[in-house]
Structure formats: structure tokens, C-alpha cells
Chains A and B, each alone.
Chain A
């Protein structure tokens, strides 16, 4: 079996495991129903929306930067940071102010590496590009460790793999933008945005399993 399919299966297994309370929560009679309860569904929708928005805004920013459109870049970068703040607020609503304050600079760090990669492409500086990619790959381990620490049912390696896929799919978008291939860039962006739902769904399921009382449907 190819390594890509092995990774897809391992992530799917992880999603099923956390949904069924494999991390230690009690298994209910309808283990999949948790994600349809209003609060749980609301969390999933919030995370999916914000993470997909992240992908689109990042692409807007990198496209503007590569196109030399400074005003557009500034606007997109500003909106991207607002998105980062919204994500950290969502994390904080679950894990508290300390986690929120740690999440934001950590999340912003990977955006900085994406900016470095884009700048490297614009300058045709291979060394800068390679360093940025190396930094991004290293970052995935940090992010995996962060979420695993917040939620032990989330494997650090599995989260790192999900974020790595995010980084690599977004890299394709940026590469196509730099190459002046708008059609290919747009298609790649659809794929990059779609992947963010995997991260959002996995994270939401794990949080709901971790705090079943917090996300129980009010009767």
C-alpha cells in the first residue's frame, strides 16, 4: 500500500477512534451522534470554516505578494492575522487563556515561514526557499506536540502529518502562483482548502471526546 494511502487510513482511523471515545471517554450507544449535537457541530463548523479561511487568505496574500500588489498583500495579510486571532480565541474557549496565548504566536510562526518561502520564490533564492520548507516541516512537529499536550488523544505524529499536508498543499498553490499559472493555482487552492476540513474535523472530534459534558446537547 502506498505511503499516501497508509497516511489517509491512519488519519481516518484516528478520526474514528477519537469519535468513539478511544482516548478514554465512555463509549455511548450512538458514538457518532456527538458530532451532530448543536454545540459539537458548531465547534466543528467553526474550526472547518476558520481553517479553510486560513488557506484562502494565505493564498490571497502570497498571490498579491508575488504579483507585486502591495495594497492587496497588506489587506490579505491583515485579514489572515484576524483569522489567526479567531482561531486562537476558539482554542482558548476550550483550553483557557494560557493555551490561547500560546497558540497564537505558534500559529503565526508557520505563517512567517510561508512568507519566507514566498519571498524566496520572488527573489529566486533557492537557499531561502529550502530553509523555509525545512522550517515548515520542523514546525509541524511543534504543532503536533502542542495539540497532543492539550489533548492527549491527538497523536502528535498524526497532527504533524495533517499540518505537513497543509503546508505541502499550500506550497503547490504558491509555486503555481509564482510560475504564473492561475488555473493550476486555483485548482491547487481548492485542494488545499479542502484538506483543512480534515484538520478541523479531527480537532473538533477530539475536543468533543475530551469534554463530553461541555458539548452535550441541552435537553
Chain B
């Protein structure tokens, strides 16, 4: 029995994506004109939720100010406004606030 259990543990451990995948939304807080945290790493299939706490409109726009991408572009008009995106494909996704270009963030999807 111990061997079987041991084998089972090894088997699960060999499938880290299955064992470690976290589908709970990862929060990014927009506070004092910053994305907090500015850089996060998530498993594929994990949603990211941005919540604005500043009393001013911010956007969450994919890409960079110089090179926007069409993936997402949401306006969060004030405190409590939120927006979610589920990242299904591995890769690095950068984004920024279109009203304040110095606000930039990055999501790494494993």
C-alpha cells in the first residue's frame, strides 16, 4: 500500500500543471497610478482581475503605448471598477494605461 501511495504521489508530482494550476483570479490593484503588482506570473487558464482604487479613470490596454495590440482595452472609470481577462496561452503579455503611459505592467503565462 505504501508503495502504491508512494507511486501515486510521484505520479501527481510529475504532472505539475495538473497539480499546481490555480484557476482563482489573480488580482492586480490599480493604486496611486501604479499596477500592483506590476509583474505577475500565472498558469495558463488563470484569469487576471484588475481593480481600480484611484479616483480617476485608468485603462488596461494590451501592448505598449508605441505598439498597441487588440487583445484587450478596458476603461476603469473610478474606484471599484474592475476588468478580467483569462490568459489561455503561455507567453508574455504587456499592457499599459492609455491615459497615463508611464503605468505599465506585464503578465507571464506559463
Is the CB of B17 closer than 8 A to any CB of chain A? Answer: no
**CA–CA, A98 and B56, complex, Å:** 18
A105/B102 contact (C-beta < 8 A), A146-B32, A146-B33, A149-B32 known: yes
**CA–CA, A99 and B32, complex, Å:** 7
A149 near B54: Cβ-Cβ < 8 Å: yes
**CA–CA, A149 and B56, complex, Å:** 10
Is the CB of A142 closer than 8 A to any CB of chain B? Answer: yes
A98/B34 contact (C-beta < 8 A), A106-B100, A106-B102, A142-B100 known: yes
B56 near A102: Cβ-Cβ < 8 Å: no
The secondary-structure label for the interface of chain A is helix
B56 near A150: Cβ-Cβ < 8 Å: no
Q: A residues engaging B (CB < 8 A)?
A: 95, 98-99, 101-102, 105-106, 141-142, 145-146, 148-150, 156
A150/B55 contact (C-beta < 8 A), A102-B102, A106-B102 known: no
Is the CB of B36 closer than 8 A to any CB of chain A? Answer: yes
A149 near B102: Cβ-Cβ < 8 Å: no
Interfacial chain A residues near B56, Cβ < 8 Å: 141-142, 145-146, 156
Segment 38-81 of B: residues with Cβ below 8 Å from A: 53-56
Interfacial chain A residues near B55, Cβ < 8 Å: 145, 148-149, 156
Count of B interface residues, CB-CB < 8 Å: 14
A158 to chain B, nearest CB (A): 12
Interfacial chain B residues near A148, Cβ < 8 Å: 55
Q: What are 9 sample pairs from A and B whose C-beta atoms fall under 8 A apart?
A: A98-B34, A99-B32, A101-B102, A102-B102, A106-B33, A145-B33, A145-B56, A146-B56, A149-B32
Interfacial chain A residues near B28, Cβ < 8 Å: none
B100 near A149: Cβ-Cβ < 8 Å: no
Closest B residue, CB atoms, query A102: B33
The 4 closest A-B pairs by CB, nearest first: A145-B56, A105-B102, A102-B33, A149-B32
A105 to chain B, nearest CB (A): 4
A98 near B32: Cβ-Cβ < 8 Å: yes
Is the CB of B88 closer than 8 A to any CB of chain A? Answer: no
**CA–CA, A141 and B33, complex, Å:** 13
B34 to chain A, nearest CB (A): 5
Interfacial chain B residues near A156, Cβ < 8 Å: 55-56
Closest A residue, CB atoms, query B36: A98
**CA–CA, A149 and B99, complex, Å:** 17
A93 to chain B, nearest CB (A): 15
Is the CB of B92 closer than 8 A to any CB of chain A? Answer: no
**CA–CA, A185 and B33, complex, Å:** 35
Closest B residue, CB atoms, query A146: B33
Closest B residue, CB atoms, query A106: B33
**CA–CA, A98 and B103, complex, Å:** 11
